[in-house]
Chains A and B, each alone.
Chain A
Amino acid sequence: MNPFPATQLITNSLFVFCLATLVFGAGIAVFSARLIRSVCGLAVCSIGLAGLYYFLHSPFLALMEVLIYIGAVCVTIVFAVMLAEPEEPPRTEKSGSTVFWGGLALLTSAAIFSGLVWLGIRGQWNPPSNLLSDGSIADIGRALLTTYSMAFEVISVALLVAILGAMAIARAGRTPVTSK
């Protein structure tokens, strides 16, 4: 009864592709030695995450993810990499402590991952009995301007203060041009 053959297969493989993009990008972001590559890994990871948001019935957030994370956050980090040229130096301490701390980090993250996955699979998550809205963009806009208008204003003030603070911090210590 499908209008198009193998629709299920195509949707499934698209989902697996998004998931693989997420995992691959996050791996690059954490494990690559050069910082510019890990910024690119963060961008790839954001593309995968935007795909997952699309599968979670929210094309609005998929758009926002691409716009904010790739368009703003990654570009800002690239600017900082340009300004500060932070090449990660080769490890200078003894290899024994490096192995110890790396193993400890791996153990911690593996414990967190397995514990959370166990909780997620074991838990009984009940679907809602009735939906109050369908979560469309019109609903989001209405809620932002009525129920969440205070939070909306507060976050715009927070963004303004963040911009001013960033400029004030980054400006201090610059040598004035007219000094020579």
Chain B
Amino acid sequence: MNAKPLYDQLSVYLAAAAFLLALGIFGLIRRRTLIGMLISGELIFSAASLNFMAFNRFTAPDPTVGQIFVLFIMGLAAAEVAIALSIIVAVYRNFRSVTTQEVSELKG
């Protein structure tokens, strides 16, 4: 048995991150409510973080850099969720709906 174990291969982590990114983009196109699109956006953030951590573990000479970067990504994702949800609540007050079909006042 000369192969490395599954958790010690970079390509496994890269494939998992690619899966998360593809699923997030699929959800972003397919979802019809603003909150559903926000959840898909969180999946894309997770994919980016996993990619950073995988390269940090396998190719970076200083393993602290990637961890700090992912920590900052998490902080920015939390800030983004707070802002987006308050916008969604404001939109709900004005339109009584958060579906993307009905919030289309600016559509020509």
Give the B-binding residues of A (Cβ under 8 A).
8, 11-12, 15-16, 19, 22-23, 26-27, 29-30, 35, 38-39, 41-42, 45-46, 49, 52-53, 55-58, 60-61, 64-65, 68-69, 72-73, 76-77, 79-81, 83-84, 86, 88-89, 91-92, 101-102, 104-106, 108-110, 112-113, 116-117, 119-121, 125-135, 139-140, 143-144, 148, 151, 155, 158-159, 162-163, 165-167, 169-170, 172-174
Contact = CB atoms under 8 A, between A and B. Distances in A.
Interface string B16-56: 11111111111101111111101110110010011001111
Shortest beta-carbon contacts, A-B, top 8: A135-B63, A120-B14, A116-B18, A162-B79, A113-B22, A105-B29, A170-B86, A30-B27
A139 B66 CA distance: 12
B75 to A, nearest CB: 5
Contact of B54 (A42, A56, A128, A129): A56
B63 A12 contact: no
B2 interface: no
B78 A68 contact: yes
Interface residues of B, number: 78
Contacts of B6: 12, 15-16
Contacts of B67: 58, 60-61, 135, 140
Given A80-B89, A84-B88, A108-B29, A128 B11 contact: no
B23 A11 contact: no
B78 A73 contact: yes
**Residue of B46, B77, B87 most packed against chain A (CB within 10 A):** B46
A127 B61 CA distance: 8
Contacts of A108: 25-26, 29
Nearest to A79: B85
Given A53-B53, A155-B76, A126 B70 contact: no
Given A29-B43, A68-B75, A77-B35, 19 more contacts: A41-B39, A49-B46, A58-B53, A76-B82, A76-B85, A83-B89, A88-B32, A89-B101, A105-B30, A108-B25, A108-B29, A112-B21, A117-B11, A131-B62, A134-B63, A135-B62, A155-B75, A158-B75, A173-B93
B34 A86 contact: yes
A28 to B, nearest CB: 10
Contact of B14 (A57, A117, A139): A117
A39 B62 CA distance: 35
B83 interface: yes
Given A108-B29, A155-B72, A165 B43 contact: no
